[in-house]
Structure 1
């Protein structure tokens, strides 16, 4: 009977963890990711749990720490992306409007996921063929093509979101 009570207590703790994670993330899938990371962290650090302490509060503190650690990482990455974008246009001296536009494009490029940014850079900036990019990255040509299409689509989507109906034309044209 004690085992059933313990199992019920763990289920209740998991429900509380998911509920708290959902309130932090405001997204069910992100909340599940936070809870999963928190469970892994709790298992890895189970020796730090003090038996006289409330287990649910300990687990919710871990959920809290996992969520805010991820937020700090995201903010740090955003700062790095912004600095990177600025370095892409620092050496150019176009007019003010052109400079602002180049900064905007550079920021959108920097905000792409690393694997999309790498493929787009190799093909659009360095002029690599799909095959050369695939060899450089150690992935199949189809993966290069897929990532490139996704990178272009993401840039177009961001552009349309910022400027309404005007589209961003990238090397290689439409993916339709």
Structure 2
């Protein structure tokens, strides 16, 4: 990369731009970190004489919008997944609407939370078995399961004002 302005000046510009895109400091820091990693991995694409700051800001831009496209794609997949769960319900069930909402909430969980919750609550695997299946430590399974349950409870409380969702597989209180 070219000599010239200190890389710290470029980093400050990257942070400012990422913050303006994300409107959230932690998310902006994640974007900058990903952009720096990408810049290091692809430093051979940097053209000598080109403005380094503009190159880095373009990477920040691409990282941010790539993540947005992934989020939109994941949201569409979650919606389709929830619809398949809903389609499997009998139309005459009293709890159809309630179960449909639970299916949507489950589908909206991050993939790693959905996986561990499904393995333990739906498939009945022990924490150890789930850990082996996912190739992660048992503590990670317990942590992800706790977060998944908390997220579902939080969504449930936001809708009904009181926790009425009972998650099978134990309590993390």
Q: How high is the TM-score relative to the length of structure 1?
A: 0.83
Q: Look up the match of 1:91.
A: 88
1:20 corresponds to 2:48: no
The 1:55/1:97 distance shift into structure 2, 3 A limit, reads farther
Note the 1:146-165 alignment, pairs <5 A. 146-165=143-162
Tell me, in whole angstroms, the C-alpha distance in 1 between the residues paired with 2:137 and 2:39: 38
1:69 aligned to which of 66, 69, 76: 66
1:42 corresponds to 2:48: no
Relative contact order higher in (CA < 8 Å, ≥ 6 apart): 2
1:122 corresponds to 2:119: yes
Which ranges of structure 1 fall in alignment gaps of 5 or more residues? none
Tell me, in whole angstroms, the C-alpha distance in 2 between the residues paired with 1:160 and 1:24: 31
Shift of 1:141: 4.0
Q: Secondary structure at the match of 2:166?
A: coil
Which ranges of structure 2 fall in alignment gaps of 5 or more residues? none
Aligned residue pairs: how many? Answer: 172
Q: CA RMSD in A?
A: 2.4
Tell me, in whole angstroms, the C-alpha distance in 2 between the residues paired with 1:86 and 1:54: 48
Tell me, in whole angstroms, the C-alpha distance in 2 between the residues paired with 1:67 and 1:96: 43
1:167 aligned to which of 157, 164, 169: 164
1:80 corresponds to 2:77: yes
Q: Look up the match of 2:30.
A: 33
